[in-house]
Amino acid sequence: MATFLCFRETTLPRTSVDLPVSVDRDALVPLTVQLGNRLRAAMRDGTIKSGERLPSTRALARQLAVSRTVVTEAYQQLYAEGWLDGRHGSGTYVADVVVHAPFPPVAPAVAPAPAPVASAGAAGAAGAPGSGSAGPVPAVRGAASTGPVPAAGDAVPAGSVPAVRGVASAGPGGTPAKHVIDLRPGRPWVRDLDRAAWRRAWRAAADLPPGDDPDPYGLPRLREALAEHLRRTRTVAVGPEDIMVTRGTGNGLDLIAATLLRPGDRAGVEDPGYRVAGNVFAARGAEIVPCPVDRDGVVVEELPDDLRVLYTTPAHQYPLGGRLPIPRRERLLAWARRTGAIVVEDDYDAEFRYDVAPLPALHCLDPERVVLLGTLSKSLSPDVGVGWLVAAPGLLAAVARTRHDLADRTGGPVQQAVAVLLERGDLDRHLRRMRLEYARRRAAVVDALGPLVSGDTAGLHVMIEIPPSAVPSVVARAAERGVLVDWTESPRRSDRPRRYGLVLGYGAASLTEVRRGAAVIAELIGDIRR
């Protein structure tokens, strides 16, 4: 049975609207998701216009004959996506949304995850942080100074520290700490992986004969499983023909750069942002253009018109932690259409949201202009070395030709194993477990550091902004006490102040370790303030 609502808005001095909204109690889709989809569709097609005031949660729940919680959660999701604005003491209003393209409904599901991954070799970048690059990584003038860093266990020359600026690795005098709590970003928790499922997947892969002619697009079986996974978890409506299996985000980014960029082309990276993205573009001869971000993400109005490619993290900006709201997403795509730029969307940890459903991918709004990159580095392990690249057919075919010319490929057995994990639902079950676990760890950080924490309730890291003079002291003193943290700064610009802060990751440490490490950081910051 469907319940229909038709309300007339009379509280604002503008033309009133009659709006039909329905929820179907017999449908399999939860009522909250139904209501969110109906309101989202009405805002996109103009039935509800920008600036219109929505009913209160209590009034809407009463008229729909549903629980107030249903309406509250639907509004919260739309707030998180940027569709709604709240005005203190006045109510809930539709945000200033410019409609350009159809937007898919949000599915009641989990989300897939990528993670920024490392390196920019001339023949292709590696799929996991800190692995696979030959020779030194070129310095990138003006790029953010730090980003996701080498995974635990990566090779480091004896007697040296990891080649990541601002990362502490030892105790006083260079001696290793007795017990290290690793709060650096870019590392997931791998110790709770279902070992039976892991072994089952690899046994199934081992039973298959090795291939003799690797498909540059990847294993068809895995591409089909990824298409279904992206449809369910990220509302990305693509088929296997739209997907290329990569070795991770770094590899996918390098293939895009090798296909689109020529020496001297200008490539935009977020400022501050993920350092490796700039390294990849620079290795292909591009001029790196730092693009300012604020607490919500990239500032569209300050993007230059001559960028060939723009790298961005709209679901959870690295490192500030904001999410790009719908109105700004629309403006970003309008800029891309006007300038002809390609937007590369790194969806690195979008499946980990702890307040509302994961935000739909930017790619959904304009598949022709947005390339979607993903990886299993955050959701499973950097060691797996499997990711995906989703692009328009013409661009994907060009990337496939580039990949063939570079003799670049993703190993067949690991693709088979990942396909089994997806087909049997093992990855989804792992994501559900880890979402709950990471939410607890993030809450522990917030409990210890309170208002110092910035960014959305999402992902595997938080940003702690502190005065520039305090950063080196806090990092060094934390290392002396066995707590490793990372830090970031934005490049010096004449038109804006530099931003400094600690970047705390809570993926690789246990809940107990996160509590202890966050307490140490809180104590050190308190000492400086006193």
Query: Where residue 75 sits, what CATH number does that domain have?
Result: 1.10.10.10
3-state SS, 151-198, equals CCCCCCCCCCCCCCCCCCCCCHHHCCCCCCEECCCCCCCCCCCCHHHH
Residue 417 confidence (pLDDT) = 96
Give pLDDT, residue 87.
Answer: 64
Q: Is residue 374 part of a domain?
A: yes
One domain for residues 384 and 441? no
Q: Examine the domain organization and report whether 89 and 59 are in the same domain.
A: yes
In a domain, 461, yes or no: yes
**Same domain assignment for residues 89 and 199:** no
Cα–Cα dist 9/2, whole Å: 22
**Residue 454 counted as domain residue:** yes
235 and 263 fall within a common domain: yes
Final residue of a domain: which of 94, 109, 142? Answer: 94
In which domain, by residue range, is 422 found? 195-208+215-427
Q: Indicate if 203 and 239 belong to the same structural domain.
A: yes
Same domain, 494 and 439: yes
Q: Strands, DSSP E only, in 262-341?
A: 266-271, 287-294, 297-298, 309-312
378/407 same-domain check: yes
For residues 245 and 300, state if they share a domain. Answer: yes
The closest alpha carbon to 390, from 373, 402, 365, belongs to 373
Q: How far apart are CA 458 and CA 506, in angstroms?
A: 11
Q: Is residue 71 part of a domain?
A: yes
Measured distance CA(388)–CA(430) in Å, rounded = 19
pLDDT score at 11: 38
Same-domain pairing of 229 and 311: yes
Distance CA 213, CA 198 (A): 26
Structure tokens at 240: 């296997």
The single residue listed with the structure tokens 């291939």 is: 211
Domain assignment present for residue 388? The answer is: yes
pLDDT digit string (tens) for the chain, length 530 residues: 444 333 333 333 333 334 457 788 878 888 888 888 888 888 877 778 788 888 888 888 887 888 898 888 888 888 777 788 766 566 888 887 655 444 444 444 333 333 333 333 333 333 333 333 333 323 333 333 333 333 333 332 223 223 333 333 344 344 444 589 999 998 999 988 899 999 999 999 999 888 777 899 999 999 999 999 999 888 898 999 999 999 999 999 999 999 999 999 999 999 999 999 999 999 999 999 999 999 899 999 999 999 999 999 999 999 999 999 989 999 999 999 999 999 999 999 888 988 877 778 999 999 999 999 999 999 999 999 999 999 999 999 999 999 999 999 999 999 999 999 999 999 999 999 999 999 999 999 999 999 899 888 899 999 998 888 888 899 999 999 999 999 876 555 545 555 668 999 999 999 999 999 999 999 999 888 76
Yes or no: say if 97 and 44 are a contact pair by the CB < 8 Å rule: yes
Domain boundary among 427, 446, 480: 427
Say how far apart CA 428 and CA 112 lie, in whole Å. 9
The domain spanning residue 507 has which CATH number?
3.90.1150.10
- As for how many domains the chain has, the answer is 3
Examine the fold and report which residue of 394, 427, 460 is the final residue of a domain before the chain moves on.
427
Straight-line distance from the first to the last Cα atom of the chain, in angstroms, rounded to the nearest whole number: 63
Domain membership flag for residue 116 = no
What region does 51 belong to: left with phi over 0, alpha with psi -120 to 50, or beta?
Answer: left
Structure tokens at 473: 């002291």
Are both 377 and 406 inside the same structural domain? yes
CA distances from 260 to 246, 287, 309 (A): 17, 13, 8
Beta-bridge partner residues of 234: none
Asked, for residue 152, whether it belongs to a domain, the answer is no
The 10 Å Cβ neighbour count of residue 269 is 32
Rounded to 5°, the CA angle 164-165-168 comes to 80
Question: Which residue matches tokens 């449809």?
Answer: 231
- Report the C-alpha dihedral over residues 53, 329, 457, 478, rounded to 10 degrees: -140
Closest CA to 258 of 469, 407, 154: 407
Residue 162 domain-assigned? Answer: no
Task: Look at residue 420 and give its three-state secondary structure.
Answer: helix
Asked if 336 and 484 sit in the same domain, the reply is no
Q: Are 390 and 463 found together in one domain?
A: no
